[in-house]
Amino acid sequence: MTAAAVPQPRAENEPSAPAARGRRSSLAVALLAGALGAALVLLATSRKWAEGTASVAQGSLPQSANGDDITGLPGALAIVGLAALVAIFAVRRLGRGAVSALLALSGAGIVVSSALGATDKAALEEKASKVSGLTHSPIHDVAYTPWPWVAAAGGVLLLLAGVLALGYGRHWPAMSGRYERAGTAGTAGRARTRRGGPAPDPDRPEELWKALDRGEDPTQAPARQDAERGA
């Protein structure tokens, strides 16, 4: 009679299969949301957010303002958020938490500034003043496009990426670990070469040049070696 297989206990620090899948999923979602959110914000801020008509002496002239004309904050925060998303994998522990918080705050700032810019006509009024030559030139028939809300949606995605990084980031891999291991291995290999490698041949041309660089006379080295062997 065959004995039933006894399940082996899982190590204390080893995550369960669902937990491991959740951590991988959170990493994939955060990367996708962060990259897509930053791209949406940068695209939206380069598009027209508002348009209107300025009154001048000859009649009226149409005016328009891009997102960057109305507010430069969403575009700047998108770049900060994208840099924070990359930096998450280069830091650990408290540093990773701080960078994750910066990513989340960048997303929240984009949402707020984009919502405020969706009804802002200061940029249109400034353009109207330049066209008319008046200090306070009125702007009429103001209309707004959906692009500010596209930028706000990008901010929400960056905020989501930051929240995921705050919740699961401590379990994500770090780039620095691999490079540190590679650097340690390379240092150990060089140390073994220094300990176990053959002694340099003083008659080789490169060794003669090294001796000259140190201020030594390489022609005297064989004589000293012969004298030492004779002694």
pLDDT for res 178: 46
Least confident range from 48-62, 63-77, 100-114, 150-164: namely 48-62
pTM of the complete model: 0.66
Q: Which two tokens stand for residue 130?
A: 């330049």
The string of pLDDT tens digits covering residues 18-70 is 666 767 788 899 999 999 999 999 999 999 999 888 876 666 778 888 999 99
* Mean pLDDT in residue range 80-98: 89
pLDDT for the residue numbered 104: 95
What's the confidence (pLDDT) of residue 176?
47
Q: What is the pLDDT of residue 128?
A: 76
Q: What is the 3-class SS of 21-82, one letter each residue?
A: HHHHHHHHHHHHHHHHHHHHHHHHHCCEEEEEEEEECCEEEEEEEEHHHHCCHHHHHHHHHH
What is the reported pLDDT for 12? Answer: 47
Please, what is the average pLDDT of the chain?
Answer: 77
Q: Across residues 198-226, what is the average pLDDT?
A: 60
What is the C-alpha separation between 193 and 196, in angstroms, rounded? Answer: 5
- pLDDT of res. 209: 62
